[in-house]
């Protein structure tokens, strides 16, 4: 939980920083073809389902105007990436990976940043002196569907700190903190030292948080590691790993938890957590 006042007070900044990061990622994204028939089909169906909701629930003029105001605020505060990744991305991911046979993926979320420090197969993520939290050693192997260990694997890893905050988004955290790009060894093995992340709470001070509060929902995601695992000739896996027994596993606001993605960490004699996960990649 964000226990210090700075964490809570500065959370709103994360939404607008996520919009900046999204704009800067334009060059790396696949472009959607401007196919008129496709746009007609999807846009018309989407609007028609909104019309159905208005009819079914007798949405009033006052509610319609309140929604308009709220949508304006989501845009002005830069929270569209945050809102969409938390409430919509999980279904896009489900559809996109429905033909995969390897490890389960899940949402990328709004807090990925490219170009992080390259690290060897056995590595410690960049962290502050006296970085808060419990030490974690996360190790495993990357193989192909069928079992062949893969050479040339990159594991791009990023996660929140022990206050549930991400470097590059919440201010006051050094650039690149708890982020790195690990190259696994020739047999796909890796061992990454870091600090256990805390659960993440959607900033309460922006329109996404206001909607959540107004609806009486909670704004939490269980503690997680983000990973993008890639190797030449294989489909890039975007996933997250969670921790057995962690809070919010059964009620993730982003609906991004899958049972296959829950790590069973063991605690060593010195208190260090050890977790293992073997990734399986699909060929392209």
Q: Which residues bind ligand DHB (CB under 6 A)?
A: 82, 85-86, 107, 109-111, 200, 202, 221, 254
With CB cut-offs between 5 and 8 Å by kind, which of Fe ion, ligand DHB, none does residue 180 bind? none
Stretch that binds Fe ion, among 37-45, 104-112, 168-176, 207-215 (CB under 5 A): 104-112
- With CB under 5 to 8 Å by kind, the binding choice for 82 among ligand DHB, Fe ion, none is ligand DHB
For the bound state, the minimum distance from the C-beta of residue 245 to Fe ion, rounded and expressed in Å, comes to: 19
Reported for 254-262, long-range contacts at CB under 8 A and 24+ positions apart, including other chains, are 254/85, 254/86, 254/87, 254/89, 254/90, 254/107, 254/109, 254/221, 255/90, 256/89, 256/90, 256/93, 256/106, 256/107, 256/109, 256/221, 257/106, 257/222, 258/104, 258/106, 260/103, 260/104, 261/104, 261/106
Q: Of 12 and 127, which CB lies nearer to ligand DHB in the complex structure? A: 12
Spatial CA neighbour of 177 closest among 163, 164, 160, 154: 160
In whole angstroms, how close is the CB of 246 to Fe ion at the nearest point? 13
Tokens 């945050």 locate to 82
Closer of 109 and 188 to Fe ion (Cβ): 109
Q: Which of 2, 81, 102, 109 binds Fe ion (CB under 5 A)?
A: 109
Shortest Å distance, C-beta 222 to Fe ion: 10
């Amino acid at each position: 939980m964000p226990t210090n006042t700075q964490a809570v007070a500065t959370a709103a900044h994360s939404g607008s920083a996520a919009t900046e990061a999204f704009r800067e990622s334009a060059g790396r994204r696949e472009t959607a073809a401007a196919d008129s028939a496709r746009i007609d089909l999807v846009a018309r169906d989407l609007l028609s389902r909104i019309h159905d909701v208005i009819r079914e629930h007798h949405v009033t003029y006052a509610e319609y105007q309140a929604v308009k105001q709220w949508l304006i605020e989501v845009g002005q505060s830069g929270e569209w990436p945050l809102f969409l990744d938390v409430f919509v991305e999980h279904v896009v991911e489900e559809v996109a990976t429905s033909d995969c046979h390897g490890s389960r993926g899940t949402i990328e979320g709004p807090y990925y940043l490219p170009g992080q420090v390259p690290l060897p197969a056995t590595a410690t993520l960049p962290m502050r002196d006296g970085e808060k939290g419990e030490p974690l050693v996360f190790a495993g192997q990357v193989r192909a569907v069928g079992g062949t260990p893969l050479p040339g694997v990159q594991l791009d890893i990023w996660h929140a700190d022990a206050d549930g905050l991400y470097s590059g988004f919440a201010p006051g955290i050094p650039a690149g903190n708890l982020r790195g790009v690990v190259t696994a060894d020739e047999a796909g093995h890796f061992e990454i030292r870091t600090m256990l992340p805390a659960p993440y709470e959607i900033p309460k001070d922006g329109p996404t948080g206001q909607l959540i509060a107004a609806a009486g929902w909670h704004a939490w995601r269980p503690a997680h590691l983000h990973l993008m695992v890639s190797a030449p000739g294989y489909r890039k896996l975007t996933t997250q790993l969670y921790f057995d027994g962690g809070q919010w596993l059964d009620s993730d606001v982003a609906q991004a938890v899958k049972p296959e993605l829950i790590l069973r960490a063991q605690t060593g004699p010195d208190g260090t957590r050890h977790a293992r996960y073997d990734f399986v990649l699909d060929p392209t």
